[in-house]
Amino acid sequence: MAPDLPLPGDPLLGTRRRERLGSVEAAAVAGIVCAVGWSIGLRGLLAAPGVDATDLEIARFYRAPDAGRNAVILLQVVVIATIAFLWFVGVVRGRLGEREPKLFGTVFLGGALLMAGIVVVGTAALAAPAVLVEVGGRSPQPGAASMSRALAVTLLSVFAPRIATLVMFATAALGRTTGALPRWLVLVTYVIGIAEFVNVAISDPGIYVFPAWIALVSVVLLVRRPPDGFELDLEVAG
């Protein structure tokens, strides 16, 4: 006799699908997608003229035929990466469940949401002059383009690293108290977080620190067997 197969409406089938979507592997993959997407998007958008560029350099850049199209594509990449980041946060919190310390869990969630918002607004400010070219069919004024770039730099190089520190510290605390992360990674996270918080230099390389940390955590989650308490039990109907 052939074994019983779950019907399309079988609740067990739906439970297994939810398990896959909420697994540690799903969180790790989402984190890697976020890290890669943010890095690619930021690198491409930061290629626009900086705040110290001359009016001639700005005008020449935005007269390029593909300037607007590239910016729109890169914005899509950033949006997908941000969604992956929120998925990563959601899966991690769902895995911890009742074992999550409320204080650290609240800081982790709040910092993650704020970080996602800063990245979205910051990259939108970076891309705004190029989007004007693509949608409006006209080049931005050099002064307006420089102001938009300055706003983006303020968000991504001043605010984002401090908010990223909150997320990293909260993640390290959650990983230490629940055993979800190895001790060496907790220590590395604290070191990176402190360096991010006290660094007052405004530079493009510093923007990539947080995506690199997300990739590191995701790879560790992917290759390391998590503790039993970090895995949800599959409820099977009797």
Q: Tell me the per-residue pLDDT of 204-214, one tens digit each, with 9 for 90 and over.
A: 677 899 999 99
Residue of 233, 201, 196, 222 whose CA lies nearest to 211? 196
Report whether pLDDT(149) > 80: yes
Tell me the chain's radius of gyration from C-alpha atoms.
21
Distance between CA atoms of residues 145 and 152, nearest Å: 11
Distance between CA atoms of residues 16 and 179, nearest Å: 25
Cα 4 off chain centre by: 42
Report the pLDDT value the prediction gives residue 93, as an integer from 0 to 100: 77
Average pLDDT over residues 119-123: 95
Distance between CA atoms of residues 132 and 148, nearest Å: 12
Least confident of 6-15, 66-75, 91-100, 220-229: 6-15
From residue 188, how far is each of 161, 183, 184 by CA, in Å?
16, 9, 6
Report the pLDDT value the prediction gives residue 112, as an integer from 0 to 100: 94
Report whether pLDDT(18) > 60: no
Query: pTM for the whole thing?
Result: 0.80
65: confidence class by pLDDT, cuts 50, 70, 90: confident
Distance between CA atoms of residues 120 and 75, nearest Å: 9
Q: What share of the chain is helix, strand, coil (3-state, %, to 5)?
A: 75, 0, 25
Average pLDDT over residues 28-53: 92
Report whether pLDDT(176) > 80: yes
Report the pLDDT value the prediction gives residue 169, as an integer from 0 to 100: 93
Q: Between 227 and 146, name the one with better pLDDT.
A: 146
From residue 230, how far is each of 82, 185, 224 by CA, in Å?
24, 17, 12
Report whether pLDDT(17) > 70: no
Residue of 107, 110, 104 whose CA lies nearest to 86? 110
Share of the chain above pLDDT 90, in %: 44
Q: Between 134 and 73, name the one with better pLDDT.
A: 73
**Domain segments of the chain as ranges:** 21-223
CA 96, 101, 107, 112: dihedral to nearest 10 degrees?
Answer: 0
Q: Tell me the per-residue pLDDT of 182-233, one tens digit each, with 9 for 90 and over.
A: 899 999 999 999 998 887 766 767 789 999 999 999 998 888 755 544 544 4
Report whether pLDDT(111) > 70: yes
